[in-house]
Structure 1
Protein backbone atom coordinates (compact mmCIF):
# COMPACT_ATOMS: atom_id res chain seq x y z
CA UNK A 1 0.00 0.00 0.00
CA UNK A 2 1.55 3.37 -1.02
CA UNK A 3 2.43 5.92 1.66
CA UNK A 4 -0.15 8.64 2.19
CA UNK A 5 1.68 12.02 2.02
CA UNK A 6 -0.98 13.64 4.21
CA UNK A 7 -0.41 11.41 7.24
CA UNK A 8 1.86 13.11 9.82
CA UNK A 9 4.41 11.47 12.07
CA UNK A 10 4.08 11.94 15.83
CA UNK A 11 7.33 13.34 17.24
CA UNK A 12 8.32 14.22 20.80
CA UNK A 13 8.97 17.73 22.11
CA UNK A 14 12.35 17.55 23.87
CA UNK A 15 12.85 21.24 24.70
CA UNK A 16 10.89 24.51 24.78
CA UNK A 17 12.56 27.92 24.84
CA UNK A 18 10.65 31.18 25.31
CA UNK A 19 11.69 33.88 22.83
CA UNK A 20 9.04 36.47 23.73
CA UNK A 21 5.63 36.53 25.39
CA UNK A 22 4.11 34.81 22.35
CA UNK A 23 7.06 33.22 20.51
CA UNK A 24 8.52 29.89 21.59
CA UNK A 25 11.06 27.55 20.04
CA UNK A 26 10.14 23.86 20.16
CA UNK A 27 12.88 21.28 19.67
CA UNK A 28 11.49 18.04 18.25
CA UNK A 29 13.23 14.67 18.31
CA UNK A 30 13.16 13.73 14.64
CA UNK A 31 15.68 12.97 11.94
CA UNK A 32 14.70 14.84 8.77
CA UNK A 33 16.66 15.70 5.66
CA UNK A 34 16.12 19.47 5.82
CA UNK A 35 17.40 22.28 3.62
CA UNK A 36 17.81 25.79 5.02
CA UNK A 37 14.54 27.67 4.45
CA UNK A 38 12.18 24.72 4.16
CA UNK A 39 8.98 24.31 6.20
CA UNK A 40 6.98 21.49 7.77
CA UNK A 41 3.29 21.03 8.41
CA UNK A 42 2.56 20.83 12.14
CA UNK A 43 -0.65 19.30 13.41
CA UNK A 44 -2.65 18.44 16.50
CA UNK A 45 -5.42 15.84 16.11
CA UNK A 46 -8.94 17.31 16.05
CA UNK A 47 -7.51 20.86 16.10
CA UNK A 48 -5.83 21.43 12.76
CA UNK A 49 -2.58 21.89 10.88
CA UNK A 50 -0.33 24.84 10.04
CA UNK A 51 2.94 25.47 8.16
CA UNK A 52 6.00 26.38 10.26
CA UNK A 53 9.49 27.22 8.99
CA UNK A 54 12.35 25.13 10.34
CA UNK A 55 14.49 27.57 12.34
CA UNK A 56 17.37 25.16 12.93
CA UNK A 57 18.15 21.47 12.68
CA UNK A 58 20.66 18.75 13.47
CA UNK A 59 21.12 15.04 12.92
CA UNK A 60 18.36 14.09 15.36
CA UNK A 61 16.24 17.20 15.87
CA UNK A 62 14.55 20.19 14.27
CA UNK A 63 13.68 23.52 15.89
CA UNK A 64 10.38 25.24 15.16
CA UNK A 65 9.88 28.80 16.38
CA UNK A 66 6.15 29.24 16.76
CA UNK A 67 4.09 32.35 17.50
CA UNK A 68 0.96 31.57 19.51
CA UNK A 69 -1.56 33.57 17.50
CA UNK A 70 -3.98 31.06 15.95
CA UNK A 71 -6.15 28.04 16.58
CA UNK A 72 -3.41 25.47 16.17
CA UNK A 73 -0.54 27.50 17.61
CA UNK A 74 -2.57 28.52 20.67
CA UNK A 75 -3.18 24.84 21.35
CA UNK A 76 0.53 24.13 20.97
CA UNK A 77 1.07 26.65 23.77
CA UNK A 78 -0.48 24.14 26.19
CA UNK A 79 2.01 21.40 25.32
CA UNK A 80 5.07 20.61 27.45
CA UNK A 81 8.30 18.65 27.08
CA UNK A 82 7.43 15.00 26.47
CA UNK A 83 4.24 15.77 24.56
CA UNK A 84 4.04 15.04 20.84
CA UNK A 85 3.25 17.01 17.71
CA UNK A 86 2.28 15.75 14.29
CA UNK A 87 4.87 16.56 11.62
CA UNK A 88 4.99 16.00 7.87
CA UNK A 89 7.53 17.33 5.44
CA UNK A 90 9.88 19.06 4.98
CA UNK A 91 8.49 20.88 1.97
CA UNK A 92 9.50 23.54 -0.50
CA UNK A 93 12.76 24.78 -1.92
CA UNK A 94 15.31 26.22 0.47
CA UNK A 95 18.00 28.83 0.06
CA UNK A 96 20.72 28.00 -2.51
CA UNK A 97 23.63 27.76 -0.09
CA UNK A 98 26.11 27.17 -2.91
CA UNK A 99 25.34 30.69 -4.22
CA UNK A 100 26.62 32.24 -0.99
CA UNK A 101 29.96 30.45 -0.75
CA UNK A 102 32.86 32.92 -0.77
CA UNK A 103 30.50 35.90 -1.05
CA UNK A 104 29.86 39.02 0.98
CA UNK A 105 26.51 37.84 2.30
CA UNK A 106 23.92 40.17 3.80
CA UNK A 107 20.94 38.72 5.63
CA UNK A 108 18.14 41.18 6.39
CA UNK A 109 15.39 39.80 8.62
CA UNK A 110 12.33 41.49 10.09
CA UNK A 111 10.60 40.07 13.17
CA UNK A 112 9.75 36.39 12.86
CA UNK A 113 11.49 36.47 9.49
CA UNK A 114 14.65 35.72 11.44
CA UNK A 115 13.44 32.17 12.11
CA UNK A 116 13.68 30.84 8.51
CA UNK A 117 17.24 32.19 8.14
CA UNK A 118 18.62 31.34 11.59
CA UNK A 119 19.99 28.01 10.41
CA UNK A 120 21.85 29.79 7.59
CA UNK A 121 23.39 32.25 10.03
CA UNK A 122 24.45 29.44 12.35
CA UNK A 123 25.98 27.52 9.45
CA UNK A 124 28.20 30.44 8.50
CA UNK A 125 28.87 31.16 12.17
CA UNK A 126 30.30 27.64 12.48
CA UNK A 127 32.02 27.84 9.08
CA UNK A 128 33.49 31.35 8.89
CA UNK A 129 35.70 30.55 5.90
CA UNK A 130 32.67 29.62 3.80
CA UNK A 131 31.83 33.31 3.23
CA UNK A 132 34.01 36.34 2.63
CA UNK A 133 31.92 38.31 5.12
CA UNK A 134 28.52 38.13 6.81
CA UNK A 135 26.35 41.13 7.68
CA UNK A 136 23.12 40.75 9.63
CA UNK A 137 20.52 43.52 9.44
CA UNK A 138 17.88 42.60 12.02
CA UNK A 139 14.73 44.58 12.83
CA UNK A 140 12.04 44.04 15.45
CA UNK A 141 8.93 45.92 16.56
CA UNK A 142 10.31 46.66 20.03
CA UNK A 143 12.90 45.26 22.48
CA UNK A 144 10.39 42.81 23.99
CA UNK A 145 9.89 41.22 20.57
CA UNK A 146 13.56 40.51 19.84
CA UNK A 147 13.96 36.81 19.05
CA UNK A 148 17.01 34.63 19.73
CA UNK A 149 18.68 37.22 21.98
CA UNK A 150 21.33 34.77 23.19
CA UNK A 151 22.25 33.80 19.65
CA UNK A 152 22.33 37.41 18.48
CA UNK A 153 24.84 38.08 21.27
CA UNK A 154 26.87 35.09 20.06
CA UNK A 155 26.83 36.37 16.47
CA UNK A 156 27.88 39.85 17.62
CA UNK A 157 30.92 38.34 19.34
CA UNK A 158 32.11 36.63 16.14
CA UNK A 159 34.92 38.44 14.33
CA UNK A 160 33.54 37.72 10.86
CA UNK A 161 29.93 38.81 11.50
CA UNK A 162 28.67 42.40 11.51
CA UNK A 163 25.34 42.68 13.33
CA UNK A 164 23.12 45.74 12.84
CA UNK A 165 20.14 45.46 15.22
CA UNK A 166 17.27 47.94 15.33
CA UNK A 167 13.76 48.23 16.79
CA UNK A 168 10.86 50.25 15.43
CA UNK A 169 10.02 51.54 18.90
CA UNK A 170 12.46 51.75 21.81
CA UNK A 171 11.85 52.00 25.54
CA UNK A 172 13.64 53.56 28.50
CA UNK A 173 15.96 50.58 28.89
CA UNK A 174 16.87 50.36 25.20
CA UNK A 175 20.11 52.08 24.17
CA UNK A 176 20.44 50.60 20.68
CA UNK A 177 19.24 51.64 17.22
CA UNK A 178 15.67 52.86 16.77
CA UNK A 179 13.99 53.03 13.39
CA UNK A 180 12.75 50.95 10.49
CA UNK A 181 15.16 48.40 9.06
CA UNK A 182 15.28 50.26 5.74
CA UNK A 183 16.92 53.20 7.49
CA UNK A 184 20.02 51.13 8.28
CA UNK A 185 20.74 49.67 4.85
CA UNK A 186 23.27 52.48 4.38
CA UNK A 187 25.39 50.92 7.13
CA UNK A 188 26.09 47.88 4.93
CA UNK A 189 29.49 47.78 3.19
CA UNK A 190 28.81 48.01 -0.57
CA UNK A 191 32.46 48.29 -1.60
CA UNK A 192 32.45 44.87 -3.31
CA UNK A 193 29.13 44.92 -5.16
CA UNK A 194 29.90 42.20 -7.69
CA UNK A 195 30.61 39.70 -4.89
CA UNK A 196 27.46 40.35 -2.83
CA UNK A 197 24.35 38.29 -2.21
CA UNK A 198 21.39 39.57 -0.16
CA UNK A 199 18.72 37.55 1.66
CA UNK A 200 15.61 39.43 2.80
CA UNK A 201 12.89 37.76 4.89
CA UNK A 202 10.02 39.31 6.80
CA UNK A 203 6.52 40.72 6.27
CA UNK A 204 5.73 41.36 2.56
CA UNK A 205 5.84 45.16 2.96
CA UNK A 206 9.24 44.92 4.68
CA UNK A 207 10.66 42.68 1.94
CA UNK A 208 9.39 45.00 -0.79
CA UNK A 209 10.84 48.22 0.56
CA UNK A 210 14.05 46.66 1.88
CA UNK A 211 14.70 45.16 -1.56
CA UNK A 212 14.11 48.56 -3.17
CA UNK A 213 16.46 50.17 -0.66
CA UNK A 214 19.25 47.72 -1.47
CA UNK A 215 18.78 48.34 -5.18
CA UNK A 216 19.40 52.04 -4.57
CA UNK A 217 22.98 50.98 -3.83
CA UNK A 218 23.24 49.14 -7.18
CA UNK A 219 22.50 45.66 -5.86
CA UNK A 220 21.03 43.78 -8.82
CA UNK A 221 17.70 41.94 -8.66
CA UNK A 222 19.46 38.62 -9.30
CA UNK A 223 21.54 39.16 -6.15
CA UNK A 224 18.46 39.30 -3.88
CA UNK A 225 16.65 36.29 -2.37
CA UNK A 226 13.35 36.38 -0.47
CA UNK A 227 11.08 33.88 1.27
CA UNK A 228 7.29 34.07 1.22
CA UNK A 229 5.19 33.27 4.27
CA UNK A 230 1.96 31.76 2.98
CA UNK A 231 -0.83 29.51 4.20
CA UNK A 232 0.59 26.28 2.78
CA UNK A 233 -2.15 23.78 3.51
CA UNK A 234 -1.20 20.60 1.65
CA UNK A 235 2.48 21.36 1.03
CA UNK A 236 2.54 19.30 -2.18
CA UNK A 237 0.87 21.54 -4.75
CA UNK A 238 -2.62 20.03 -4.66
CA UNK A 239 -4.91 22.39 -2.72
CA UNK A 240 -3.97 25.74 -4.27
CA UNK A 241 -4.18 27.73 -1.03
CA UNK A 242 -0.67 29.11 -1.45
CA UNK A 243 -0.93 29.79 -5.18
CA UNK A 244 0.17 33.21 -6.44
CA UNK A 245 -0.67 33.70 -10.12
CA UNK A 246 0.35 30.33 -11.61
CA UNK A 247 3.01 29.62 -8.99
CA UNK A 248 2.58 27.16 -6.13
CA UNK A 249 4.65 28.65 -3.31
CA UNK A 250 4.86 25.29 -1.50
CA UNK A 251 6.52 23.70 -4.53
CA UNK A 252 8.55 26.42 -6.24
CA UNK A 253 9.18 28.42 -3.04
CA UNK A 254 9.01 29.54 -0.38
CA UNK A 255 12.45 30.85 -1.39
CA UNK A 256 12.64 32.84 -4.62
CA UNK A 257 15.18 34.95 -6.39
CA UNK A 258 13.88 38.51 -6.64
CA UNK A 259 13.77 38.27 -10.43
CA UNK A 260 10.90 35.79 -9.98
CA UNK A 261 9.47 37.15 -6.71
CA UNK A 262 8.76 40.61 -8.16
CA UNK A 263 6.31 39.03 -10.60
CA UNK A 264 4.25 37.27 -7.94
CA UNK A 265 1.10 39.23 -7.13
CA UNK A 266 -1.76 38.27 -4.81
Structure 2
Protein backbone atom coordinates (compact mmCIF):
# COMPACT_ATOMS: atom_id res chain seq x y z
CA UNK A 1 0.00 0.00 0.00
CA UNK A 2 1.34 3.45 -0.90
CA UNK A 3 1.84 5.89 1.95
CA UNK A 4 0.25 9.13 0.70
CA UNK A 5 2.03 11.15 3.40
CA UNK A 6 5.56 9.89 2.64
CA UNK A 7 7.72 12.41 0.75
CA UNK A 8 10.46 11.43 -1.70
CA UNK A 9 13.56 13.38 -2.78
CA UNK A 10 13.68 15.11 -6.16
CA UNK A 11 16.60 16.93 -7.73
CA UNK A 12 16.32 20.64 -8.44
CA UNK A 13 17.21 21.19 -12.10
CA UNK A 14 17.00 24.97 -12.26
CA UNK A 15 16.06 28.02 -10.19
CA UNK A 16 14.52 31.03 -11.95
CA UNK A 17 14.45 34.31 -10.05
CA UNK A 18 11.06 35.73 -11.04
CA UNK A 19 11.18 38.63 -8.54
CA UNK A 20 13.05 39.38 -5.33
CA UNK A 21 10.34 37.50 -3.42
CA UNK A 22 9.34 34.71 -5.87
CA UNK A 23 11.48 32.00 -7.38
CA UNK A 24 10.47 29.20 -9.74
CA UNK A 25 12.06 25.82 -9.03
CA UNK A 26 12.25 23.27 -11.83
CA UNK A 27 12.33 19.81 -10.25
CA UNK A 28 12.98 16.39 -11.79
CA UNK A 29 9.76 14.37 -12.00
CA UNK A 30 9.18 11.40 -14.31
CA UNK A 31 5.38 11.11 -14.35
CA UNK A 32 4.57 14.66 -15.46
CA UNK A 33 1.87 13.57 -17.94
CA UNK A 34 -0.39 12.46 -15.09
CA UNK A 35 -0.29 15.83 -13.32
CA UNK A 36 -3.52 17.73 -13.91
CA UNK A 37 -3.87 21.51 -14.14
CA UNK A 38 -4.65 22.95 -10.72
CA UNK A 39 -3.16 20.15 -8.59
CA UNK A 40 -0.54 20.72 -5.92
CA UNK A 41 2.29 19.00 -4.06
CA UNK A 42 3.62 19.23 -0.53
CA UNK A 43 7.22 20.45 -0.72
CA UNK A 44 9.44 19.97 2.30
CA UNK A 45 12.89 20.23 3.78
CA UNK A 46 13.67 17.72 6.56
CA UNK A 47 13.66 19.27 10.05
CA UNK A 48 12.40 22.57 8.60
CA UNK A 49 8.82 21.95 7.48
CA UNK A 50 6.56 21.63 4.47
CA UNK A 51 4.00 23.65 2.51
CA UNK A 52 1.44 23.07 -0.27
CA UNK A 53 2.58 24.51 -3.59
CA UNK A 54 0.68 24.45 -6.88
CA UNK A 55 2.34 23.17 -10.04
CA UNK A 56 3.14 26.22 -12.17
CA UNK A 57 4.64 24.36 -15.13
CA UNK A 58 5.37 20.91 -16.45
CA UNK A 59 7.41 19.39 -19.23
CA UNK A 60 9.46 16.37 -20.21
CA UNK A 61 10.42 14.78 -16.87
CA UNK A 62 10.11 17.99 -14.85
CA UNK A 63 7.66 20.08 -12.87
CA UNK A 64 7.89 23.72 -11.84
CA UNK A 65 6.81 25.31 -8.58
CA UNK A 66 6.71 29.08 -8.10
CA UNK A 67 7.30 29.91 -4.45
CA UNK A 68 6.98 33.13 -2.52
CA UNK A 69 9.40 33.78 0.34
CA UNK A 70 7.01 34.17 3.26
CA UNK A 71 8.03 31.77 6.04
CA UNK A 72 10.49 29.33 7.57
CA UNK A 73 10.14 26.65 4.91
CA UNK A 74 10.17 28.98 1.93
CA UNK A 75 13.18 30.81 3.35
CA UNK A 76 14.94 27.45 3.45
CA UNK A 77 13.90 26.52 -0.08
CA UNK A 78 15.25 29.83 -1.36
CA UNK A 79 18.69 28.68 -0.21
CA UNK A 80 18.61 25.61 -2.46
CA UNK A 81 20.49 25.48 -5.75
CA UNK A 82 20.39 23.29 -8.89
CA UNK A 83 21.62 19.84 -7.92
CA UNK A 84 20.17 20.05 -4.41
CA UNK A 85 17.27 17.86 -3.32
CA UNK A 86 13.81 18.95 -2.25
CA UNK A 87 11.32 16.49 -0.80
CA UNK A 88 7.85 16.16 -2.33
CA UNK A 89 4.64 14.23 -1.83
CA UNK A 90 1.63 14.31 -4.08
CA UNK A 91 -0.02 15.19 -6.38
CA UNK A 92 -3.05 16.18 -4.36
CA UNK A 93 -6.39 17.82 -5.00
CA UNK A 94 -8.77 18.05 -7.90
CA UNK A 95 -8.17 20.08 -11.05
CA UNK A 96 -9.67 22.43 -13.59
CA UNK A 97 -12.15 20.61 -15.90
CA UNK A 98 -10.11 21.23 -19.04
CA UNK A 99 -12.25 18.98 -21.19
CA UNK A 100 -15.23 21.22 -20.39
CA UNK A 101 -13.24 24.26 -21.53
CA UNK A 102 -12.42 22.95 -24.98
CA UNK A 103 -14.11 24.57 -28.01
CA UNK A 104 -15.50 27.32 -25.77
CA UNK A 105 -14.50 30.85 -24.78
CA UNK A 106 -12.31 31.00 -21.68
CA UNK A 107 -11.79 33.92 -19.32
CA UNK A 108 -8.87 33.81 -16.87
CA UNK A 109 -8.49 36.48 -14.18
CA UNK A 110 -5.38 36.20 -12.00
CA UNK A 111 -3.99 38.31 -9.19
CA UNK A 112 -0.36 38.24 -8.08
CA UNK A 113 1.06 34.81 -7.27
CA UNK A 114 -2.34 33.31 -8.10
CA UNK A 115 -1.09 33.36 -11.67
CA UNK A 116 1.17 30.41 -10.82
CA UNK A 117 -1.86 28.13 -10.39
CA UNK A 118 -3.07 28.75 -13.96
CA UNK A 119 0.20 29.32 -15.79
CA UNK A 120 0.50 25.70 -16.94
CA UNK A 121 -3.12 25.72 -18.15
CA UNK A 122 -2.55 28.94 -20.08
CA UNK A 123 0.58 27.46 -21.63
CA UNK A 124 -1.43 24.43 -22.71
CA UNK A 125 -3.93 26.55 -24.64
CA UNK A 126 -1.10 28.70 -26.00
CA UNK A 127 0.48 25.55 -27.45
CA UNK A 128 -2.85 24.09 -28.63
CA UNK A 129 -4.98 27.10 -29.64
CA UNK A 130 -7.16 24.90 -31.81
CA UNK A 131 -8.64 23.39 -28.63
CA UNK A 132 -10.16 26.67 -27.44
CA UNK A 133 -12.42 29.23 -29.10
CA UNK A 134 -10.81 32.25 -27.40
CA UNK A 135 -8.89 33.20 -24.26
CA UNK A 136 -9.53 36.50 -22.50
CA UNK A 137 -6.82 36.94 -19.88
CA UNK A 138 -6.45 39.61 -17.18
CA UNK A 139 -3.48 39.52 -14.78
CA UNK A 140 -2.85 42.06 -12.04
CA UNK A 141 0.23 42.79 -9.94
CA UNK A 142 1.07 45.17 -7.12
CA UNK A 143 3.85 46.93 -9.05
CA UNK A 144 6.41 46.31 -11.79
CA UNK A 145 8.74 44.56 -9.34
CA UNK A 146 6.01 42.02 -8.57
CA UNK A 147 5.40 40.89 -12.15
CA UNK A 148 5.75 37.14 -12.65
CA UNK A 149 6.55 35.12 -15.76
CA UNK A 150 7.44 38.07 -17.98
CA UNK A 151 8.35 35.82 -20.92
CA UNK A 152 5.01 34.04 -20.72
CA UNK A 153 3.07 37.30 -20.43
CA UNK A 154 4.67 38.58 -23.62
CA UNK A 155 3.92 35.45 -25.63
CA UNK A 156 0.36 35.17 -24.29
CA UNK A 157 -0.39 38.56 -25.83
CA UNK A 158 0.32 37.12 -29.27
CA UNK A 159 -2.59 34.64 -29.05
CA UNK A 160 -4.83 35.77 -26.17
CA UNK A 161 -6.86 38.91 -25.57
CA UNK A 162 -4.64 39.93 -22.66
CA UNK A 163 -4.69 42.87 -20.25
CA UNK A 164 -2.02 43.34 -17.57
CA UNK A 165 -2.42 45.76 -14.69
CA UNK A 166 -0.41 47.35 -11.89
CA UNK A 167 -2.30 48.51 -8.81
CA UNK A 168 -1.13 52.12 -8.58
CA UNK A 169 1.74 52.72 -10.99
CA UNK A 170 2.21 53.26 -14.71
CA UNK A 171 4.54 51.23 -16.90
CA UNK A 172 4.65 50.47 -20.62
CA UNK A 173 2.51 47.47 -21.44
CA UNK A 174 0.43 47.73 -18.27
CA UNK A 175 -2.82 49.38 -17.34
CA UNK A 176 -3.25 51.05 -13.94
CA UNK A 177 -5.75 49.77 -11.40
CA UNK A 178 -7.21 46.57 -10.04
CA UNK A 179 -8.20 43.70 -12.32
CA UNK A 180 -11.86 44.30 -11.48
CA UNK A 181 -11.73 47.62 -13.34
CA UNK A 182 -11.03 45.80 -16.62
CA UNK A 183 -13.58 42.99 -16.42
CA UNK A 184 -15.97 45.31 -18.30
CA UNK A 185 -13.77 44.76 -21.36
CA UNK A 186 -14.61 41.05 -21.46
CA UNK A 187 -17.37 40.55 -24.07
CA UNK A 188 -19.61 38.25 -22.03
CA UNK A 189 -22.64 39.26 -24.11
CA UNK A 190 -21.07 37.74 -27.23
CA UNK A 191 -20.21 34.39 -25.63
CA UNK A 192 -22.48 31.45 -26.36
CA UNK A 193 -20.59 28.96 -24.20
CA UNK A 194 -17.77 29.93 -21.89
CA UNK A 195 -15.98 29.39 -18.59
CA UNK A 196 -14.30 31.78 -16.16
CA UNK A 197 -11.31 31.00 -13.92
CA UNK A 198 -10.46 33.35 -11.05
CA UNK A 199 -7.32 32.86 -8.93
CA UNK A 200 -5.62 35.17 -6.46
CA UNK A 201 -6.05 36.62 -2.98
CA UNK A 202 -9.49 35.89 -1.45
CA UNK A 203 -10.62 39.52 -1.56
CA UNK A 204 -9.63 39.83 -5.19
CA UNK A 205 -11.47 36.61 -6.11
CA UNK A 206 -14.58 37.77 -4.25
CA UNK A 207 -14.85 41.10 -6.03
CA UNK A 208 -13.76 39.73 -9.42
CA UNK A 209 -16.51 37.11 -9.25
CA UNK A 210 -19.07 39.75 -8.27
CA UNK A 211 -17.99 41.93 -11.20
CA UNK A 212 -18.23 39.00 -13.62
CA UNK A 213 -21.75 38.27 -12.37
CA UNK A 214 -22.68 41.93 -12.77
CA UNK A 215 -21.47 41.73 -16.39
CA UNK A 216 -23.73 38.78 -17.13
CA UNK A 217 -21.62 35.76 -16.27
CA UNK A 218 -23.41 32.79 -14.74
CA UNK A 219 -22.35 31.41 -11.36
CA UNK A 220 -22.08 27.89 -12.77
CA UNK A 221 -19.54 29.06 -15.34
CA UNK A 222 -17.06 30.41 -12.76
CA UNK A 223 -14.24 28.36 -11.24
CA UNK A 224 -11.93 29.44 -8.39
CA UNK A 225 -8.93 28.00 -6.56
CA UNK A 226 -8.90 28.12 -2.75
CA UNK A 227 -5.38 26.73 -2.46
CA UNK A 228 -4.19 29.32 0.06
CA UNK A 229 -6.07 27.69 2.92
CA UNK A 230 -4.43 24.25 2.74
CA UNK A 231 -1.95 22.70 5.13
CA UNK A 232 -1.55 18.90 5.46
CA UNK A 233 -3.14 17.99 2.06
CA UNK A 234 -4.78 14.81 3.35
CA UNK A 235 -7.65 16.06 5.51
CA UNK A 236 -6.07 15.26 8.88
CA UNK A 237 -5.11 18.60 10.41
CA UNK A 238 -8.43 20.39 9.86
CA UNK A 239 -6.70 23.66 8.98
CA UNK A 240 -8.57 23.99 5.70
CA UNK A 241 -11.97 22.76 6.89
CA UNK A 242 -14.89 25.11 6.28
CA UNK A 243 -18.11 23.72 7.69
CA UNK A 244 -18.05 20.16 6.31
CA UNK A 245 -15.71 20.84 3.41
CA UNK A 246 -12.00 20.02 3.40
CA UNK A 247 -10.37 22.28 0.82
CA UNK A 248 -7.44 19.89 0.32
CA UNK A 249 -9.69 16.87 -0.31
CA UNK A 250 -12.70 18.43 -2.05
CA UNK A 251 -10.70 21.14 -3.84
CA UNK A 252 -8.70 23.24 -4.23
CA UNK A 253 -10.69 23.93 -7.42
CA UNK A 254 -14.35 24.75 -6.83
CA UNK A 255 -17.22 25.88 -8.96
CA UNK A 256 -18.47 29.24 -7.74
CA UNK A 257 -21.90 27.81 -6.95
CA UNK A 258 -20.17 26.01 -4.08
CA UNK A 259 -17.25 28.31 -3.41
CA UNK A 260 -19.46 31.32 -2.67
CA UNK A 261 -20.59 29.63 0.56
CA UNK A 262 -17.11 28.56 1.69
CA UNK A 263 -16.50 31.50 4.00
CA UNK A 264 -14.79 31.26 7.39
TM value normalised by structure 1: 0.95
Partner of 1:186: 184
Deviations 1:150-198 (A, max 9, x none): 110011122xx11111110215x54631001100001112233331210
Q: Decide whether the 8 Å contact of 2:12 with 2:85 is kept in 1.
A: yes
- Offset of residue 234 of structure 1: 2.3
Deviations 1:119-178 (A, max 9, x none): 1100100110111101111100011101000110011122xx11111110215x546310
Partner of 1:249: 247
Partner of 1:97: 98
Partner of 1:260: 258
Partner of 1:202: 200
Is 1:28 matched up with 2:27? yes
**Structure 1 segment 78-89 matched on structure 2, within 5 A:** 78-89=79-90
Partner of 2:50: 49
Q: Decide whether the 8 Å contact of 2:180 with 2:208 is kept in 1.
A: yes
Q: Decide whether the 8 Å contact of 1:15 with 1:81 is kept in 2.
A: yes
The SS at the match of 2:130 is helix
Deviations 1:197-256 (A, max 9, x none): 100000000000000000111100001000002343321222211111110111110000
The SS at the match of 2:11 is strand
Q: Decide whether the 8 Å contact of 1:230 with 1:249 is kept in 2.
A: no
Deviations 1:98-138 (A, max 9, x none): 11011110000000010000011001001101111011111
**Number of residues paired by the alignment?**
262
Deviations 1:34-70 (A, max 9, x none): 1100010000000001000100112411100000111
Distance 2:17 2:162 in 1: 22
Distance 1:156 1:248 in 2: 37
Partner of 1:11: 10
Unmatched tracts of structure 1, length 5 or more: none
**Structure 1 segment 68-147 matched on structure 2, within 5 A:** 68-147=69-148
Distance 2:205 2:41 in 1: 22
Q: Decide whether the 8 Å contact of 2:110 with 2:140 is kept in 1.
A: yes
Task: Give the direction of change, closer, same or farther, for the CA distance of 1:17–1:263 in structure 2 (3 Å limit).
Answer: same
